[in-house]
Structure 1
């Protein structure tokens, strides 16, 4: 048998590497499942040192994403002063970002750097969670944009239109809609978990052309259009309000100064969430932008980079909160020092910030 392999390699390739490759496959040392010689995938051939370094960096990003978003979740849920409509929407986004760091980032690292040892069903479940979490995140961003649009463009109607109960219902409907959409998006994978895998030890996602087009419209074109239109309107109104405040800053009464402070707070919140959305689009657009060229992006060589760029946004969001929201910095201090364990800490007025 060995003589036949050597003759075949010499005749067709004339290379010693061919013999090594065939012999390695024969003894199963380079297979994910050596006992499944005819149906097992080959182990990824990656440079060991580069792979270890890359995995350490990516796992650190994943850990930072989990920790920072967990701080946001604890802060908003613990302190009652933070139970506002806008913060509930931020909480929804933080939950999706937390799940990205906890589940999606490690899963993507495992899929691309080693064999998939968890079976076809787990692969399909992971693919479903990717669609669910990403869709929920997109829905949260749209709700945040609409919240700021009403707050800036229709401030007199904000308290009646954007109530806490309505926001909570909207968030629930957002995640419920994402769940049903993900069932449609991953229906083939859920019905036949191994349909996209060519061998054991592989976890790939393959979608049909029609499904890819629908996903492109619902998860990219429609959300981006809504977000851009709403924030263009917010930007125009915010600029006009800022100019009006500057021109009347020396002529306001005490009562008007309270209104002025409120407007400044709303404008600052709009700017902060504007930065949040701009960063989101920067990380979000390359993946779906490339899908305009290749619908099934996951089958391309750029898939891992584009996916991780999209996931990296979940790490950047808490950093934006820390830079622009003083209450978040104060909340972190109270959480890290375990002052939230004290009785009555949930009633603390976290919004009162002492300037340093």
Structure 2
């Protein structure tokens, strides 16, 4: 876009330009060095593509291979879908907000984007809570786990989780959805304002309460797994070690998620809405989105089945007949 014809100079000799030069209601913007644009756009592009690619591997793996059709993996699949949406939509737009002072996507998407952001991250948190409950039952009562936790029950839980996430997010953001003109004072601005009481409610619903539930469950999981490892026979001990390893891996997923979320809430509750605060909040929201990249990386580090399935997918072996029956757990042969 050619901008040299419509720039102006302020008292500090800093070039100021308009987001939309042909509109009298356009916002102004300060021009940043070209190197900043290049660095941020390259980083955002690489991170977004990598996030989409890794989560597609998770989705294809769990969907294709029969050995991965387990209740726990259904939850991981739901989490990967949320992370995929984050990589496709949230990370590119949120990345542009870090460097672009103007909003070029229109008034409607300015209202819809926060809703997508809140629905996806709230659904991810709900998935993690359900995963924690699933792992607790698996470790605490492994013999009756197949009866208590079935794929159909977890699918119902996932559907309820996504519906709750949408309703809850709409409740928090309904003012910006119904009155989008409040999101900007000039053309090219998109600022989300949420009442302080809603921020406090959101902090409790999406941080305090889930933390209490998840942490208490994982503390119990550790105690139960250690007890089983000491007192049960070798067969049961092998099962207990397997469940403990799965719980530990998913516990790391939960911990990383909370570490990505906490800075955002601490920032939004303590800051106002001036320009510098808005930039800091955008950075915190980007950190939240980065969690969608971390999850598949954790799977790659701790799950051998993910590394094997990714190898089969990337080498196109999944196109072979009966590839869905490939053994992803060779030690069980």
TM-score, normalised relative to structure 2? 0.90
Shift in Å, 1:320: 0.8
**CA distance in structure 2 between the aligned counterparts of 1:296 and 1:234, rounded to whole angstroms:** 42
Matching residue within 307, 322, 325 for 2:285? 307
For 1:217, the equivalent position in structure 2 comes to 204
Aligned counterparts, 1:142-161, within 5 A? 142-161=129-148
SS of the residue aligned with 1:187? helix
For 2:251, the equivalent position in structure 1 comes to 274
Verify: 1:318 aligned to 2:292, yes or no.
no
Unmatched 5+ residue regions in structure 2? 1-8
Shift in Å, 1:297: 11
SS of the residue aligned with 2:186? coil
For 1:283, the equivalent position in structure 2 comes to 260
**CA distance in structure 2 between the aligned counterparts of 1:127 and 1:108, rounded to whole angstroms:** 10
154 and 122 in structure 1: CA distance in 2 versus 1, 3 angstrom threshold: same
For 1:66, the equivalent position in structure 2 comes to 52
Matching residue within 150, 160, 168 for 1:163? 150
Matching residue within 99, 122, 135 for 2:109? 122
Query: In the comparison of the two structures, how many residue pairs are matched?
Result: 323
Verify: 1:197 aligned to 2:184, yes or no.
yes
Verify: 1:100 aligned to 2:77, yes or no.
no
For 1:249, the equivalent position in structure 2 comes to none
Instruction: Output the aligned Cα RMSD.
Output: 2.2
Contact preservation (8 Å) 2:222, 2:244: no
Shift in Å, 1:19: 8.9
Q: 1:246-302: per-residue Cα shift (whole Å, max 9, x none)? A: xxxxxxxxxx54333222211111111111111112112111233443487995442
123 and 334 in structure 1: CA distance in 2 versus 1, 3 angstrom threshold: same
TM-score, normalised relative to structure 1? 0.85
For 1:344, the equivalent position in structure 2 comes to 322
Verify: 1:227 aligned to 2:214, yes or no.
yes
SS of the residue aligned with 1:194? helix
SS of the residue aligned with 1:43? strand
For 2:74, the equivalent position in structure 1 comes to 88
Contact preservation (8 Å) 1:207, 1:296: no
For 1:18, the equivalent position in structure 2 comes to 11
Contact preservation (8 Å) 1:152, 1:266: yes
For 2:32, the equivalent position in structure 1 comes to 46
Q: 1:71-107: per-residue Cα shift (whole Å, max 9, x none)? A: 0000001112101011011111111111111111101
Matching residue within 197, 201, 207 for 2:194? 207
For 2:238, the equivalent position in structure 1 comes to 261
**CA distance in structure 2 between the aligned counterparts of 1:89 and 1:19, rounded to whole angstroms:** 55
SS of the residue aligned with 2:11? helix
**CA distance in structure 2 between the aligned counterparts of 1:296 and 1:67, rounded to whole angstroms:** 35
45 and 259 in structure 1: CA distance in 2 versus 1, 3 angstrom threshold: same
19 and 92 in structure 1: CA distance in 2 versus 1, 3 angstrom threshold: closer
**CA distance in structure 1 between the aligned counterparts of 2:70 and 2:272, rounded to whole angstroms:** 39
94 and 19 in structure 1: CA distance in 2 versus 1, 3 angstrom threshold: closer
Which structure has the larger Rg?
Answer: 1
Verify: 1:236 aligned to 2:223, yes or no.
yes
**CA distance in structure 2 between the aligned counterparts of 1:49 and 1:102, rounded to whole angstroms:** 25
Matching residue within 62, 74, 78 for 1:76? 62
Contact preservation (8 Å) 1:111, 1:202: no
Contact preservation (8 Å) 1:209, 1:296: no
**CA distance in structure 1 between the aligned counterparts of 2:121 and 2:78, rounded to whole angstroms:** 12
Contact preservation (8 Å) 2:83, 2:292: yes
> Relative to structure 2, which stretch is displaced further, 287-296 or 118-127?
287-296
